Structure 1
């Protein structure tokens, strides 16, 4: 697949700041503007924020990375997603996840069920979402959700709204392989935080094997995505990696290979991304908003390749 880049923002202090960020991302050649889904910290509510970004742009795609399944009933989410896709002329990429931050659940008195239960519930939700978005109606009887005769959601502009599911555990990656169009290959967040040793090249290979197990014959159709947490353009990558090594407890030569770490010159970063696509098939890279300007030359070099 051709390479493309997303940019992830969290919030903005004013409407003008938000609109300018979206327009700047579009102008720099980013494919998609994405938002996470957390409480507090200045986090914009994803759906209205993405609608404002849609109104300010014309080609920029709009994504959620990712919505916590337990915060919304899937029928309500499907109706909101269909509406956003319709009103943005077909630019939505809907990302959903099982939820992982215990403190957010506790803050609003939601039960934080075991990971397996949350993933099981997410799979039912994904099936409901797909039915509503594809057919405009759903009848579903599962362990966690029962929906009887729902119909009437607006018809999305896209023939098929792309669905993104990401994670790092066997169960969620197999499920993503079964149902998603875009699979995010990330840390296993079961413990409530990212573990740097969980995203080495060897671990990435293992995670993709789980995706293949779930996807079967449809694996070649999947778009594989990775998020970059450390981005640093520098002519002296060893200096930066040595500092990170002391902080993260991983040898600098190993850190340099992690899919979610880009440190070095633009040409070195480009070679690494091309290598990740060659080895793993990863073609969709999401950069953090703070790094948008620094990443612009990389995006210009590789987008569409």
Structure 2
């Protein structure tokens, strides 16, 4: 069980000055990793140029994709981009890989939308291609593989330096990208499954936190999340009740001291020592980072 490490997921970019300012602010607040997702849409950053820029204006944080949507890419060109980004960031790249989940983005890009098993197969091909093409360029960078399915977790157990958990699963019968938030027991099962495959391999466990609310009233914050997510028909939908939400490892609700204790307890229960929060929570989560750094 490792010491705590903290990441921030920056989801948008407007211009160089704004990007530089928030990357430097993340470093100042003590975050250890600056990450970007891989999505289409206005203001969404192209991951690799954004990471090179982030590394150029900071000194300490690692940079990474959380995660690269591998089925978006021609694998040879993807390997070239990875190699250049790793070199230009001074070896600070954590390469996150995933199999994709938003059909609307594939449609927007004019790319075929394949079944989950086929997307995972392409992820396997991508990993093999990366290993082959980067063999003469220093090998793979530090590798994060994130997902919730058996197939992706199996791949992570075999190859990843970091296993990424978000605790979200596709809601059956709903449009792609409609997610159910796993409760604590479901997360127990996913982590147990992963550990059964990883064996004695030393793997870091990452949790992508969906919301942080610093409050004196945890129950009210959980109820607000429940109401908010239930009202959005094609976005994240919550677990079934407020009590389950209070125990869900994807949510951090309470005073700073309560959140600190939640993270300590969840590291013990699940192994989550690398915690990533979204951009909107950069400042809100900073007091927790300050309390737990080095512990």
- Kindly tell me: are residues 182 and 215 of structure 1, through their superposed partners in 2, closer, same or farther at Cα, counting changes over 3 Å? same
SS of the aligned residue for 2:200 comes to helix
Residue 190 of structure 1 and its aligned partner are, at CA, apart by: 7.5
The answer on 1:258 being equivalent to 2:258 is no
| Cα distance between partner residues in 2 of 1:215 and 1:20 | 39
| Unaligned runs of at least 5 residues, structure 1 | 137-154
- Kindly tell me: are residues 195 and 273 of structure 1, through their superposed partners in 2, closer, same or farther at Cα, counting changes over 3 Å? same
Over residues 135-188 of structure 1, what are the superposed CA-to-partner deviations in whole Å (9 max), with x where a residue is unaligned?
A: 22xxxxxxxxxxxxxxxxxx35xx751111111111111111111111111212
| Cα distance between partner residues in 2 of 1:203 and 1:41 | 34
| Cα distance between partner residues in 1 of 2:103 and 2:266 | 32
Residue 74 of structure 1 and its aligned partner are, at CA, apart by: 2.6
Q: In the alignment, what sits opposite 1:57?
A: 58
Q: In the alignment, what sits opposite 1:224?
A: 205
Query: Retained in 1: the 8 A contact 2:94–2:142?
Result: yes
Over residues 28-68 of structure 1, what are the superposed CA-to-partner deviations in whole Å (9 max), with x where a residue is unaligned?
A: 11011110011113101010011111110111110101111
Query: Retained in 2: the 8 A contact 1:115–1:190?
Result: no
The answer on 1:165 being equivalent to 2:145 is yes
Query: Retained in 1: the 8 A contact 2:71–2:99?
Result: yes
Structure-to-structure mapping, 1:133-148, within 5 angstroms:
133=134, 135-136=135-136
SS of the aligned residue for 1:217 comes to coil
| Cα distance between partner residues in 2 of 1:45 and 1:195 | 24
Q: In the alignment, what sits opposite 2:291?
A: 301
Query: Retained in 1: the 8 A contact 2:157–2:195?
Result: yes
Q: In the alignment, what sits opposite 2:156?
A: 176
The answer on 1:273 being equivalent to 2:263 is yes
Paired positions, count: 281
| Unaligned runs of at least 5 residues, structure 2 | 231-237
| Cα distance between partner residues in 1 of 2:68 and 2:160 | 14
> TM-score of the superposition, structure 2-length normalised?
0.90
| Cα distance between partner residues in 1 of 2:155 and 2:276 | 22
Structure 1 runs of 4+ aligned residues shifted over 6 Å read: none
Q: In the alignment, what sits opposite 1:142?
A: none
| Cα distance between partner residues in 1 of 2:200 and 2:225 | 40
